[in-house]
Amino acid sequence: MVKRFIGVFILLSFWVSLVAGISLGKPMINSSQLSEPSSESQKRSPMVVGEPTILANGVSVPSDFPYIEVMVNENPAPGKIFLNNWSDSSPYNVMFNSDGTPYWYNKTIARQRDFKVQRNGLLTARYIPSINGIPGGAFIAYDSTYAVVDTFLAAPDNQGRFYEVDEHELVVLEDGGYLLVALDYRQVDMSEFFEDGKTNAGVAFSHLQEFDSEGNLILHFDTQENLNIGEFTQIEEHVKYGGRFPHMNAIDVDEDNNLIFSCRHLSAVYKIQRQTGEIIWKLGGINGNFTFVNDPFNGFSGQHAVSVLGNNRYLLFDNGNNHNPKTSRAVEYELDLDAMTATLVWEYRQDPDAQFSHYMGNAQRLPNGNTLINWAEGGRPKATEVTPDGTKVYEMNFINHYDCYRTYKFDWNVPAVRPYLIIESRPAGPTLLFNQFGDPDVDYYNIYHGTDPHPTAILDSSRLTMKSFENLENIQYHYFRVTSVSKTGVESDFSNEEATMIKRIGPGDEQILNGDFSGGDDFWIFGMYGYSTNAEGEVNDGVYHLHVGSISGNNGGAYVFQYPVELLEDQTYRFEFDAWADQKLNILPMVANNTASRDYSRIGNVPMGTSSKHYAYEFTKRSSSTSEAIAGFLMGENTGTLYVDNVSLKQVMTSVDETKAVKPERYQLEKNYPNPFNGKTTLKFSVPYSSDVTFVLYDILGRQVREIKKGSYSPGSHLLVFHDESLSSGVYFCKMKAGPKEEPQTFERVIKMILMK
């Protein structure tokens, strides 16, 4: 029996989210104490990319949210659009409304795939990193309350061979049984199949496994034993030198209760007998059983996402890797099992005709007969919905042109039962985003706060779904959780609990806390990765000891870091430390984004000797992504002990005299800071020569609110503090106009400012 881990499990990554769901005796407030939003700008905000924002439907989203652009919206089929964005730094599962606003979302620790509603009503998605010590991840399942309730793993075969769960497909049946793709790695003598084949080629085999509702393995279809590697069609790599076979990427149950599955690297779809695994037919590929009729490409190539439509009809996304010209399309075939023909009865090609998606993608037949198509690659639409006659009624894409494995549409209207909380940490104070998705009965939210976990004191309440706080205790962890209060006065369970470190650091000040380890390991976070890694971190005599005792092969290691440190775009920083080891080994010092997927410092591997040495590196942050970062040390693929002391990270500042001597090369207005703000905010601007400068504030409708400042300024950089108690919360726009003295003000720049009281 394969174990399915039901309930709460721990996801190890560079941070941990604590989920709290116990209802306590929480104090209430009178809703009359809350003022109604006093302007439309409080109720509806435009999309503000790069800043936390409340959208038109009242849902608040973080600064890195994967917005979509809707290009066509002409009476599409009802339902929510389900998808994940293909991002290592800001991955999300999202249900979008057809207008492009999110109905529900969650930010995931690592990128996921194949977010969808299963046949028994569960929501599932593929989680990539290792889970419960098992490499290769798992599919995770959410119930109708959006709580994680199950995980789905592959099982050993009858020979005890271990399998990872492949990321391509999970099908959960109405009774809770399920089918998935299992993955393992074998060495194969490819010279038996190809003249110049490698005799010890490493091949990643994907196989089909079916389980009953209790998690018992009832079918293992081994593709090495049952399929012919010699019929491989070169789509990506050629398996004769090593690679993936057969690259199984879709499973479905046919109308006669047998199974079909798609094999991308064979350009074929197979049907097998469900109890025995016997092959019933092969559609496409080399030595296929059917003759294609009415198909200009004589079949499909490198396909994805085959599905059963009934009456011997099948829909798939044809990537068309080997078509001439390379063309991707959604196609529907009707099989004649007597004449053994596969007739193309419907297809849709994106305009222009030769548009090509070399990998991923899917097509879904909707209940009203329309077809939803995902073209997968960045610049191509992630959802194109067409009618049976090919009329396009809906189309959208990510604004940042993320790739996407699959897109679905489901008729889903399930309100959340408690809020979902995200915190954006900023030096001035945190911004909280909290949504009880889809629930129109929420009157307001209570925000609980404390400097210890599980706070029970209300800090504030809000009818909006976003709130910023300033002047919280500095150099201190702060814990938050949120509840909703309904219009009848019923308070929900707590949201997930989130913590943030308040660390207000001035320009040029030390960013690393306890860098000499005189306070033990305070503010430092230790972790390890890799299957069966044995490691520990501790402070002895004012020096940090990062020890890795054992790893599995070359895959494993440990790390120690501080989070958050604040990095500003186009600013230069100096990262310094003392380090040595008990033997020669390599380490990776890094200052990186908060998922460690983007290394700003770019130091690379540094060899350690056994004598203490001082290291210093300067780098400039060239990314406009989140300002939050981690700073620390990674010790991977080595065993031994690293010693670290006197760690420092500071912004490199020029002297006052140098600042005066350097004249700005152009006019510039930077984003206000902090933003969102409560009370006052600061604008930094530069003028290259003596200039007349005007600042004007506008509301969300483009109406002038007031002139902030008008005056003459000398060449250089200047700060302007803005404060206006008369303004209500909302989104505003500040326009700077400037020009040389006594000449027209030809320079203009507009920034968006969010006031949250």
Per-residue pLDDT reduced to its tens digit, 245-257: 999 999 999 999 9
Residue 394 contacts residue 384 (beta carbons within 8 Å): yes
329-336 β-sheet, strand order: 291-293, 341-349, 329-336, 313-318, 304-310
pLDDT for 2 beyond 50: no
**Two structure tokens written together for 500:** 């943030």
Q: Based on C-alpha coordinates, what's the Rg of the chain?
A: 29
d(CA 490, CA 260): 49
Per-residue pLDDT reduced to its tens digit, 537-586: 999 999 999 999 988 666 788 999 998 888 888 889 999 999 999 999 99
Please return the burial class of 3, using the count of CB atoms within 10 Å of its CB with bins 0-12, 13-18 and 19+: exposed
How many angstroms from the chain centroid is the CA of residue 610? 40
Confidence of residue 5 (pLDDT cuts 50, 70, 90): very low
362-365 β-sheet, strand order: 68-73, 392-398, 383-386, 371-374, 362-365
Beta bridge partners of 217: 211
pLDDT for 325 beyond 70: yes
Name residue, tokens 């000398």.
714
First CA to last CA across the chain, in angstroms?
Answer: 56
| Secondary structure string (H, E, C) spanning 540-582 | ECCEEEEEEEECECCECEEEEEEEEEECCCCCEEEEEEEEEEC
Beta bridge partners of 491: 485
Per-residue pLDDT reduced to its tens digit, 32-50: 334 343 333 333 344 556 7
d(CA 60, CA 47): 10
> 476 or 435: which carries more pLDDT confidence?
435
**Which pLDDT belongs to residue 31?**
34
- Where in the chain are the domains? 425-502, 525-651, 662-755
Average pLDDT over residues 271-295: 98
Per-residue pLDDT reduced to its tens digit, 621-638: 887 666 778 999 999 888
C-alpha closest to that of 370 among 356, 383, 380: 383
Confidence of residue 511 (pLDDT cuts 50, 70, 90): very high
pLDDT for 9 beyond 70: no
d(CA 374, CA 212): 31
Average pLDDT over residues 133-156: 84
102-107 β-sheet, strand order: 102-107, 92-96, 80-84, 407-410
**Two structure tokens written together for 68:** 């979509």
> 459 or 37: which carries more pLDDT confidence?
459
Per-residue pLDDT reduced to its tens digit, 589-599: 999 987 777 89
pLDDT for 661 beyond 80: no
pTM over 0.75: yes
Average pLDDT in the chain: 88
**Which pLDDT belongs to residue 490?**
98
C-alpha closest to that of 638 among 561, 580, 583, 577: 583
pLDDT for 25 beyond 90: no
- Measured in degrees and rounded to the nearest 5, phi and psi for residue 494 equal -65, 150
- Written out in words, the top-level CATH class of the domain with range 425-502 is mainly beta
The fraction of the chain above a pLDDT of 90, given in percent, is 67
The fraction of the chain above a pLDDT of 70, given in percent, is 90
Per-residue pLDDT reduced to its tens digit, 461-470: 999 999 999 8
C-alpha closest to that of 250 among 298, 311, 323, 314: 314
Domain 525-651 homologous superfamily, CATH: Galactose-binding domain-like (2.60.120.260)
d(CA 72, CA 82): 17
Per-residue pLDDT reduced to its tens digit, 217-241: 999 999 999 999 999 998 988 899 9
- Written out in words, the top-level CATH class of the domain with range 662-755 is mainly beta
pLDDT for 740 beyond 80: yes
pLDDT for 725 beyond 50: yes
Residue 593 contacts residue 89 (beta carbons within 8 Å): yes
Average pLDDT over residues 304-308: 98
d(CA 394, CA 310): 25
d(CA 358, CA 360): 7
Confidence of residue 405 (pLDDT cuts 50, 70, 90): very high
Please return the burial class of 657, using the count of CB atoms within 10 Å of its CB with bins 0-12, 13-18 and 19+: exposed
557-566 β-sheet, strand order: 525-529, 557-566, 628-636, 585-593, 606-608
d(CA 164, CA 745): 64
**Which pLDDT belongs to residue 47?**
53
> 29 or 403: which carries more pLDDT confidence?
403
**Which pLDDT belongs to residue 575?**
97
> 131 or 194: which carries more pLDDT confidence?
194
Beta bridge partners of 243: 203
d(CA 300, CA 315): 11
Q: Which residues, including other chains, have CB under 8 Å from residue 181's CB and lie 6 or more apart?
A: 165, 166, 168, 169, 206, 207, 208, 209, 248, 249, 251
Number of residues that make up the chain = 757
d(CA 448, CA 461): 9
Say if 425-502 and 662-755 have the same CATH topology: yes
d(CA 547, CA 537): 6
pLDDT for 435 beyond 70: yes
pLDDT for 445 beyond 90: yes
C-alpha closest to that of 571 among 673, 678, 429, 712: 673
Per-residue pLDDT reduced to its tens digit, 337-347: 999 999 999 99
Residue 643 contacts residue 579 (beta carbons within 8 Å): yes
